């Protein structure tokens, strides 16, 4: 049944699955139309960056006729500067802020974290551009990037595609149950931007591939091993990930003493 009502917590069965498996798919938390303001905001950034690069002589074609699914690929073939203007935490537009504090997302987070929630500064827009190495994300736990003081707390990741995420364009894979064990050793290869877990430290035979439709969200604990599949299509897989935590959890991204302005809900 669609879940586009103004409020949306988690049912007992959903809470139990998240506790057991370390992940939960909600396939229809949003109507796809509700994500269009953020998509338009991203398109405006692409327009602005392409115009700037054209004026500076760094690209020869702004590809104005291309759409949301293909334009960044064409631009990145000339210069990666548009990519880096959006990827990671570079974008802090109004619609991104409105999504982070959307009541339905906060209801879901509250069901897992309690009534006082911090929205982490470690939010990300992730365009997975075909044939672009920076979009490759190997197996890792988010806790591999955090201070050890965070390991005992739940830091919730909400992964939300802005397109239909499929095995062909780069949806996520998870390993359920491993979140109940210790944080695994993570390694960084020379020249790599990401940490990775060695295959021998993973339960690869238990891998679950999780397609997520536009409007759906995938919830992950900070200890759940996950990666993304390769993008073998000719279209960009756009996604957003947002992190929430309770006010009693230590944070790698925010000061230990959190002021009221840092609260997403209280």
Q: Give the Å distances, CA to CA, from 56 to 81, 201, 218.
A: 12, 48, 40
Is the model's pLDDT at 147 over the cut of 70?
no
Bridge-based pairing state of the strands 195-196 and 226-228: unpaired
Rounded mean pLDDT, 117-132: 88
What share of the chain has pLDDT > 70, as a percent?
88
- 172 φ, ψ (degrees, to nearest 5): -90, 155
Position 266 scores a pLDDT of 42
Instruction: Estimate to the nearest angstrom the gap between the alpha carbon of 80 and the chain centroid.
Output: 20
Q: Between these two residues, 73 and 131, which has the higher pLDDT value?
A: 73
Rounded mean pLDDT, 155-181: 95
Q: How many angstroms separate the CA atoms of 173 and 89, rounded? A: 23
Alpha helices in 34-147 (DSSP H): 36-55, 71-76, 81-86, 94-100, 103-113
Residues 170-200 have pLDDT tens digits of 999 999 998 988 888 888 876 667 788 899 9
Position 91 scores a pLDDT of 84
Query: Can you list the domains of the chain with their CATH numbers?
Result: 12-248 (2.60.120.620)
The encoded tokens of residue 206 equal 């238990």
Q: How many angstroms separate the CA atoms of 152 and 144, rounded? A: 13
Rounded mean pLDDT, 51-56: 96
Q: What is the CA radius of gyration of the chain?
A: 18
Q: How many CB atoms lie within 10 A of CB 204?
A: 12
Position 186 scores a pLDDT of 85
Q: Is 216 exposed, middle or buried (0-12, 13-18, 19+ CB in 10 A)?
A: buried
Q: How many angstroms separate the CA atoms of 222 and 108, rounded? A: 16
Is the model's pLDDT at 249 over the cut of 80?
no
What share of the chain has pLDDT > 90, as a percent?
64
Q: Between these two residues, 217 and 9, which has the higher pLDDT value?
A: 217
Position 260 scores a pLDDT of 40
Is the model's pLDDT at 258 over the cut of 80?
no
Q: How many angstroms separate the CA atoms of 262 and 163, rounded? A: 30
The pTM of this model reads 0.89
The encoded tokens of residue 181 equal 């064990």
Position 6 scores a pLDDT of 55
Strand order in the sheet with 172-174: 208-210, 172-174, 226-228
């Amino acid at each position: 049944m669609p879940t586009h009502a103004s409020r949306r917590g988690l049912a007992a069965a959903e809470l139990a699955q998240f506790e057991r498996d370390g992940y939960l798919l909600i396939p229809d938390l949003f109507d796809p139309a509700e994500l269009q303001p953020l998509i338009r905001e991203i398109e405006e950034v692409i327009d602005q960056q392409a115009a700037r690069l054209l004026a500076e002589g760094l690209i020869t074609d702004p590809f104005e006729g291309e759409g949301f699914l293909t334009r960044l690929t064409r631009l990145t073939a000339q210069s990666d500067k548009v990519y880096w203007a959006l990827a990671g935490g570079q974008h802090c537009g109004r619609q991104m802020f409105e999504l982070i504090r959307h009541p339905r997302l906060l209801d879901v987070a509250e069901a897992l974290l309690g009534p006082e929630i911090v929205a982490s500064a470690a939010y990300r827009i992730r365009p997975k551009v075909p044939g672009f190495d920076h979009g490759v994300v190997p197996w890792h736990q988010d806790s591999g990037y955090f201070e050890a003081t965070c390991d005992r707390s739940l830091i919730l990741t909400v992964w939300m595609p802005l397109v239909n995420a499929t095995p062909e364009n780069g949806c996520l894979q998870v390993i359920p149950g491993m979140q109940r064990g210790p944080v695994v050793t993570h390694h960084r290869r020379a020249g790599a931007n990401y940490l990775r877990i060695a295959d021998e430290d993973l339960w690869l035979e238990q891998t679950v591939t999780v397609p997520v439709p536009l409007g759906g969200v995938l919830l992950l604990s900070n200890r759940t091993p996950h990666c993304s599949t390769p993008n073998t299509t000719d279209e960009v897989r756009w996604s957003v990930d947002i992190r929430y935590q309770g006010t009693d959890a230590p944070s790698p991204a925010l000061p230990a003493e959190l002021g009221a302005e840092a609260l997403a809900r209280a």
